[in-house]
Amino acid sequence: MRFAAGIDQYFDILRKAAPPPLSQLTVEQARAMYRFKSEKFGGPKVEVAEALDLACPGPRGPIGLRLYRPAAAAAPQPALIYLHGGGWTIGDLESHDHVCRALAIAAGFPVIAVDYRLAPEHPFPAGADDAVAATNWIAAHAADLGFDPARLAIGGDSAGGNLSAVVCLAARDAGGPTLRAQALIYPCVDCAPASADFPSRRTNAAVPPLTQDALDFFDDKYFPDKTRAVDWRASPLRTASHANLPPALILTAEYDVLRDEGHAYAAQLRASGVAVEERDYAGQIHGFIEFGGLLPDAGCAIADIAAFLRARLAG
């Protein structure tokens, strides 16, 4: 394997730290390790004009939100709704604070992050239900938030990419809200047992940070009932139709277990008449967009996402 710039340094740090596999950690320990990784490798937090914590109603109580404004603006602006990664289990607003700040500055318009409920306390479909509820609320209150309701996009990484795809399907089937674009960053789009047949699930199963051990850890927490993993809200690749969905940008990484299902989702959208752009990052690993302090490609990915969103959300 020929890894991209900075990856060997990251692996050296892992070897010296010798963290235990996720399967040997409690959920609390795994969450703490994820937050530590974000702080260690995320790089400096870029300044935004405003980072405001909010909440909206959810199916089982309030859902936390964090609004990032890159600059003050009088006119309504486009906005990105962001759903963090972490296997539906260990991410939160803090773990992706670096990413959301960087996206807001690069795009030049607000990003609003969603703190959906996590497993195992709240297993499937709690995360999907919260993501849909939060998106509906944000769209309904867009004017109050300073957003243009006709120029909303959704995006997320890994599990957040999964939830972003689910939100787009749910919005289409419910007749709204209107989403102008979706940015799926190395998304998990197939949780069904047959996903093991994707070649990248085998060839990259030992590449940190999303090893087979980590996949099993997350699946066990999010899907205590394994039969539910074929539900379209878990496996959007397997939904009956992908027609009439927002234009998509799909980012994948060469040495990621999820690479092939990202390609498959792009192909499925394209075959259904959806405009799709793909970026496959050579030599990269899962989670690289979170390593802005170590990996040059993290900044490249932020720039690619921002350019896509600006083009799709232009007035």
216 an active-site residue? Answer: no
97, 115, 190, 256: the active-site residue: 256
173 is catalytic: no
Question: How far, in Å, CA of 253 to CA of 183, rounded?
Answer: 15
Tokens coding 81: 């709704």
- C-alpha dist (Å) from residue 16 to 11, 165, 283: 9, 37, 22
Active site residue 164: no
Q: Output the 3-class SS for the chain.
A: CCCCCCHHHHHHHHHHHCCCCHHHCCHHHHHHHHHHHHHHHCCCCCCCCEEEEEEECCCCCCEEEEEEECCCCCCCEEEEEEECCCCCCCCCCCCCHHHHHHHHHHHCCCEEEEECCCCCCCCCCHHHHHHHHHHHHHHHCHHHHCEEEEEEEEEEECHHHHHHHHHHHHHHHHCCCCCCEEEEECCCCCCCHHHHHCHHHHHCCCCCCCCHHHHHHHHHHHCCCHHHHHCCCCCHHHCCCCCCCCCEEEEEECCCCCHHHHHHHHHHHHHCCCCEEEEEECCCCCCHHHCCCCCHHHHHHHHHHHHHHHHHCCC
Please pick, among 242, 286, 297, 304, the residue that the annotation labels catalytic. Answer: 286
Characterise 244 by phi-psi region: left (phi > 0), alpha (psi -120 to 50), beta (else): left
Among residues 152, 131, 133, the alpha carbon closest in space to that of 143 is found at 152
Burial class (CB in 10 A: 0-12, 13-18, 19+), 192: middle
- Indicate which residue of 38, 95, 158, 164 is catalytic: 158
Catalytic site positions: 158, 256, 286
